Structure 1
Amino acid sequence: MNKYNIDLYFEDNFFELNNQSCPIMEDKWRSWFATWLEITDHDFDENENYEISLIFTNDEEIKQLNSQFRQKNQATDVLSFASVDDEFAPLPMVDTISLGDIIISIETAQKQAQEQNHSLKNELAWLASHGFLHLLGWDHPNDDLLTEMLAEQQKLLDSVGIDKISLDFLKVF
């Protein structure tokens, strides 16, 4: 039993439209996010309900969002929009505390999975765990913080049985 209760808002704007099935079902995502929240040990109140939105989309839609919110006119693999910051104090009348939104381009995830020679399931878990850490305030403005964040990310993936992801693609940056 997980320590935290996660309400998952799951929106599939890709697989269903393309008559495909998602390699990771909604209940598994919910369980993974609860496990990850427990592992990160942020001293969240166990009596609260937490919500995460996970949205699957295509390159065109994520490019529009990336342009609108990050002024980068290109598709990307994952975007995160955190709802909670360090100075956040939940309102007493709120039943569920939103941690934020994770938006993943399935088209980019498919390309990256192929390039890295691993499954789409592993790539989606990788991207979701990365987005999840951003929701909790992690960032990687330099190589040292990126290395630290990637180590934390691998810890999250290990906890749900996802194979170690090769970081060879980082040599490109």
Structure 2
Amino acid sequence: MIDRRIELELSVQQPFWESPGAASFPDPAIASETWESWFASWLALMRAELPSARGYELSVRLSDDGEIRQLNAGYRQQDKPTDVLAFAALEVDSPLAGPFESDDLLYLGDIAISVETAARQAIARGHGLTVELAWLAAHGLLHLLGWDHPDDDSLSRMLAQQETLLHAVGLEI
């Protein structure tokens, strides 16, 4: 059940390829309300890990391999496409990482997902594009909240948490 006390401002930026004359890419076909429902459910489930605030704000950018490759090269010095990137607004050493009380929404950061890569991964993993996009969005959210996977143990914990988040919204990987 969604915790209605959590206010969420979510911006899902429409893919640029939906413009006239753009190349053809897989259509994620996920309504804004679905994205909002997923993130609200996930934030409610993880409330204990969140800085206290009236609500939270984040953005999701659905991109293609070319755009995410540029982001990956610019921010991570890896000149190749990837499936998801997360740009956390809160850093562990930030004064906001501690107790935070505000009447404003707390900005968590940005998530960029390559729909092209997600489509290939969905086929390889034997599930639909919606499940893969939710999986990647959950992964990105965990990064925004300070989760990381520098070793196998932390990766296993993070993947298990992603499964928990997907299950909470009725999806299975």
| 2:130 matched residue in structure 1 | 121
Percent identity reads 44
Letter paired with 1:7: E
Q: After TM superposition, which residue ranges in structure 1, 4 or more long, deviate above 2 angstroms?
A: 14-23, 43-46, 85-92
Q: Distance in 2 between matches of 1:64 and 1:43?
A: 30
| 2:84 matched residue in structure 1 | 78
Q: TM-score under structure 1 normalisation?
A: 0.85
What value does the CA root-mean-square deviation take over the aligned residues? 2.0
Letter paired with 2:9: D
Mapped contact 2:138–2:166 kept (Cα < 8 A): yes
Letter paired with 1:44: P
- Alignment partner of 1:95 out of 92, 104, 110: 104
Q: Which runs of 5+ in 2 are unaligned?
A: none
Written as runs of structure 1 = structure 2, the 5 A alignment for 1:1-173 is 1-2=2-3, 3-14=5-16, 16-17=18-19, 18=24, 21-40=27-46, 41-45=48-52, 48-86=54-92, 87-89=94-96, 95-163=104-172, 165=173
Count of residue pairs the alignment pairs up = 162
Q: Which runs of 5+ in 1 are unaligned?
A: 166-173
Mapped contact 1:5–1:49 kept (Cα < 8 A): yes
The 3-state SS of whatever aligns with 1:110 is helix
| 1:171 matched residue in structure 2 | none
Q: 1:20 Cα deviation (Å)? A: 6.7
Q: 1:115 Cα deviation (Å)? A: 0.9
Q: 1:135 Cα deviation (Å)? A: 0.4
Mapped contact 1:15–1:21 kept (Cα < 8 A): no
Cα distance, 1:117–1:20 mapped onto 2, change above 3 Å: closer
Mapped contact 1:23–1:120 kept (Cα < 8 A): no
Q: TM-score under structure 2 normalisation?
A: 0.85
Q: Distance in 1 between matches of 2:25 and 2:82?
A: 23
Mapped contact 1:102–1:128 kept (Cα < 8 A): yes
